[in-house]
Amino acid sequence: MEKEKIPYKIYLEESEMPTAWYNVRADMKKKPAPLLNPGTGKPLTAAELSHVFCDELVAQELNDTDRYIPIPQEIRDFYKMYRPSPLVRAYCLEQKMGTPAKIYYKFEGNNTSGSHKLNSAIAQAYYAKKQGLVGVTTETGAGQWGTALSMACSYFGLDCKVYMVKVSYEQKPFRREVMRTYGASVTPSPSMETEVGRRINKEFPGTNGSLGCAISEAVEAATTREGYRYVLGSVLSQVLLHQSVIGLETKAALDKYGIKPDVIIGCAGGGSNLGGLISPFMGEKLRGEADYRFVAVEPASCPSLTRGRYVYDFCDTGKVCPLAKMYTLGSGFMPSPNHAGGLRYHGMSSILSELYDEGLMEAVSVGQTDVFAAAEYFARVEGILPAPESAHAIKVAMDEAEKCRLTGEEKTIVFGLTGTGYFDMVAYQKFHDGQMTDYVPTDEEIAKSLASAPQI
């Protein structure tokens, strides 16, 4: 197809937006391993999970069989405020790089939370409201998830308690204030408000906190309060389900112009945006209808897929959460303090872990200075200032496009541009000032942190 025919931005009509989420587990021959009760080592039942999560979300978490799950009208109406998100043809980037590759990105940064996380936050808040709950608790690292959830909770009139990793709480005051603008209460973690927070503070005095530790606190806060449940912004299968809206829209937009991607690339922290983006395409691959390459991109400083082990592990530092089988670096793993690019969770979605283990998806890790160099290059040619997380995908998409320049291949590359980086300017500053380093954990460090995984 000629250049004029494919617009810079492919938008869908409201009427073309998905009306059901796609559940890739339904098409997986080998299902992701079940969550286990850390006490008994047995698969968790819906009744056990319902102490932590809303009933409807428990049902979605355990649903390995229904291919499509209808999106309630209220959620679809909220989606319409900022969706469909554009699929952008990166003509400027292609031209600047001199590559024959055709590059597309799905841009999820067009809402105040600045990322794709709102897609799941609104769904989780909706089900909490429907169940008649008072509020929800959660953790947030860099702050995107907390922001998305506070927006969703204010929309449905729910209380929102956010435990924010202490170092981010101190370094990202603006994120914190956005959450408070939407009515959330924000507590630095580890705090002295919870049993587990007090224990972690005692064991590691002066700790900066971690995502795993904030999760433990948020779970405790939910399970010890009447009318509260815990919600999580990534990793869980229900979150990947909600994020399938990204992939469904991408596929609908590509189909409109008869475009078939060769490779689909996404950054992977807990795996939700990547899982959501690739799901419908992976479904075709699983059913033998089409073939695609899928690439997960992770930071070299937190390389769960490329250097972790596929075992049952705790989802949180405090070891209060269910056990999940996933590629993990060990629940005590903490990326080096100078790691600035996000994606710092020690584990990975069990859906993506299983797909990767079966060789259906590839994974690569990239160093953070290369990531920021790609982010800056992209910002200058495509105009969007990317989140550092998103820039991991940009970096590998550009690497693929460069290979095409060398070989002359006209591959079609699609990647997920998950969000904007306005709250990450301290990290950009470090990069500009030449103060950013690439710390990569040693095999010994990873082995040491993996030793804490339960023997199952």
Ligand X SMILES: *Cc1c(COP(=O)(O)O)cnc(C)c1O
Residues that bind ligand X in the complex, under the rule CB under 6 A:
115, 117, 144, 234, 267-273, 343, 387, 389-390, 418-419
Which residue sits closest to ligand X, CB atoms considered? 419
Question: What's the min distance (Å) between Cβ of 311 and ligand X?
Answer: 20
> Tokens for 111?
């809402």
Which lies closer to ligand X via its Cβ, residue 112 or residue 407? 112
Question: What's the min distance (Å) between Cβ of 57 and ligand X?
Answer: 16
Which lies closer to ligand X via its Cβ, residue 10 or residue 343? 343
Classify the phi-psi angles of 13: left when phi > 0, otherwise alpha if psi is within -120 to 50, otherwise beta: beta
Which lies closer to ligand X via its Cβ, residue 348 or residue 450? 348
Which lies closer to ligand X via its Cβ, residue 168 or residue 418? 418
Question: What's the min distance (Å) between Cβ of 95 and ligand X?
Answer: 26
Tokens 């949180």, located at residue: 316
Which lies closer to ligand X via its Cβ, residue 117 or residue 339? 117
Which lies closer to ligand X via its Cβ, residue 82 or residue 204? 82
Nearest to 433 by CA among 367, 344, 342, 338: 338
Which lies closer to ligand X via its Cβ, residue 101 or residue 352? 352
DSSP classification of residue 437 = -
The answer to whether residues 105 and 417 touch, using CB atoms and an 8 Å cutoff, is yes
Question: What's the min distance (Å) between Cβ of 351 and ligand X?
Answer: 12
Question: What's the min distance (Å) between Cβ of 417 and ligand X?
Answer: 9
Rounded Cα gap, residues 56 and 230, in angstroms = 13
Q: In what order do the strands lie in the sheet with 102-107?
A: 9-10, 87-89, 102-107, 412-417, 263-267, 293-299, 362-366
Tokens 């948020």, located at residue: 218
Question: What's the min distance (Å) between Cβ of 326 and ligand X?
Answer: 12
Question: What's the min distance (Å) between Cβ of 200 and ligand X?
Answer: 23
Rounded Cα gap, residues 407 and 401, in angstroms = 10
> Tokens for 185?
């209460």
The answer to whether residues 243 and 275 touch, using CB atoms and an 8 Å cutoff, is yes
Distance of CA 398 to the CA centre of its chain: 21
Determine the 3-state secondary structure of 169 from DSSP: helix
Size (the chain), residues: 456
